[in-house]
Chains A and B, each alone.
Chain A
Amino acid sequence: MTDDKERLDRAIIAMRVAKELPAGSCVNLGIGIPTLVSMFVDDESVVFYHSESGVLNCGPLADEGSEDIDLINAGGQFLQSVPGMAYFSSVEAFAMIRGGHVDVTVLGAHQVSATGDLANWMLPERGVGNIGGAMDLAAGADKVIVAMEHNDRSGNPKVVQECNFPLTGRGCVSLIVTDVAVLEPTPDGMVLRETAPGWTPEEVQEVTGARLIIPDNIAEYEV
Chain B
Amino acid sequence: MTLERLDAQSVARRAAAEIAPGSVVAVSGAWAVAAADLVPEEKGVWFLRAGGTLSDLPINAADAGAALRGGHVDLSILTAAQVDSHGSFAGYHAADYPGPQGHAGLVDLASGARRVIAALPHIREDGTPNVVSALSFPQDGARCVDTIITDVAVFRVADDGLILTEVAPGWSAEEVRAITGAPVSVSPNLRDMDFDLPPGRPPSKVYADGPGAIADLPDGATVFIDGFGGPGGMAHYLLVSLRDRGSRNLTIVSNTAGIARVVSFGTPPGRTAIDHSVLVENGQVAKAIASFPVSPSVSRPSEFELAYRRGEVDLELVPQGTLAERLRAGGAGIEAFYTPTGAGTLIAEGKESRVIDGREYILEHGLRADFALIRAHQADTRGNLVYRGTSRNFNAVMAPAARVTVVEVDEIVQPGELDPEAVVTPGIFVQRIVRRPDGFTGYE
Residues of chain A touching chain B, judged by Cβ–Cβ distance below 8 Å, are 31, 51-55, 64, 67-79, 87-91, 93-94, 97-98, 123, 126-136, 138-140, 166-170
15 contacts across the A-B interface (CB closer than 8 A): A31-B296, A53-B393, A70-B377, A88-B392, A89-B392, A89-B397, A91-B328, A93-B321, A130-B291, A130-B292, A135-B319, A135-B342, A136-B319, A139-B339, A140-B340
Q: List, in ascending order, chain B residues with CB within 8 A of A55's CB.
A: 389-390
Top-9 shortest CB links A-B = A94-B321, A76-B265, A136-B321, A70-B389, A69-B232, A135-B319, A90-B324, A89-B396, A170-B344
Checking B322, B344, B389 against A167 with a beta-carbon cut-off of 8 angstroms, the contacting residue is B344
CB proximity to A under 8 Å, residues B304-343 = 305, 308-309, 315, 317-325, 327-328, 339-343
- Kindly list 20 other residue pairs between chains A and B, CB separation below 8 angstroms, not including A31-B296, A128-B308, A140-B340: A54-B228, A71-B390, A76-B228, A76-B267, A87-B387, A87-B390, A89-B424, A90-B255, A90-B321, A91-B328, A94-B324, A97-B321, A130-B293, A133-B319, A135-B319, A136-B319, A139-B342, A140-B341, A166-B346, A168-B345
Query: Are A76 and B266 touching (Cβ within 8 A)?
Result: yes
B353 at the interface (CB under 8 A from A): no
Q: List, in ascending order, chain B residues with CB within 8 A of A74's CB.
A: 228
Query: Are B264 and A54 touching (Cβ within 8 A)?
Result: no
CB proximity to A under 8 Å, residues B257-290 = 263-269
Query: Are A169 and B393 touching (Cβ within 8 A)?
Result: no
Q: List, in ascending order, chain A residues with CB within 8 A of B264's CB.
A: 76
Query: Are B392 and A98 touching (Cβ within 8 A)?
Result: no
Query: Are B341 and A98 touching (Cβ within 8 A)?
Result: yes
B70 at the interface (CB under 8 A from A): no
Checking B266, B325, B345, B392 against A166 with a beta-carbon cut-off of 8 angstroms, the contacting residue is B345
Would you give the shortest CB distance from A114 to chain B, in whole angstroms? 16
**Distance of A138 Cα from B319 Cα, bound (Å):** 11
**Distance of A51 Cα from B342 Cα, bound (Å):** 20
Query: Are A69 and B325 touching (Cβ within 8 A)?
Result: no
**Distance of A69 Cα from B229 Cα, bound (Å):** 11
Query: Are B345 and A169 touching (Cβ within 8 A)?
Result: yes
- The size class of the interface chain B forms with chain A is 35 or more
Would you give the shortest CB distance from A69 to chain B, in whole angstroms? 4
Given A53-B390, A54-B392, A129-B294, check contact A67 B343 (CB 8 Å). no
Nearest A residue (CB) for B391: A70
**Distance of A93 Cα from B319 Cα, bound (Å):** 13
Would you give the shortest CB distance from A124 to chain B, in whole angstroms? 11
Query: Are B347 and A87 touching (Cβ within 8 A)?
Result: no
**Distance of A93 Cα from B377 Cα, bound (Å):** 20
Would you give the shortest CB distance from A118 to chain B, in whole angstroms? 10
**Distance of A75 Cα from B391 Cα, bound (Å):** 14
Query: Are A69 and B231 touching (Cβ within 8 A)?
Result: yes
Query: Are B393 and A93 touching (Cβ within 8 A)?
Result: yes
Q: List, in ascending order, chain B residues with CB within 8 A of A123's CB.
A: 298
Given A69-B231, A76-B265, A136-B322, check contact A90 B389 (CB 8 Å). no
Would you give the shortest CB distance from A117 to chain B, in whole angstroms? 8
**Distance of A31 Cα from B265 Cα, bound (Å):** 12
Query: Are A131 and B424 touching (Cβ within 8 A)?
Result: no
Q: List, in ascending order, chain B residues with CB within 8 A of A70's CB.
A: 232-233, 377, 388-391
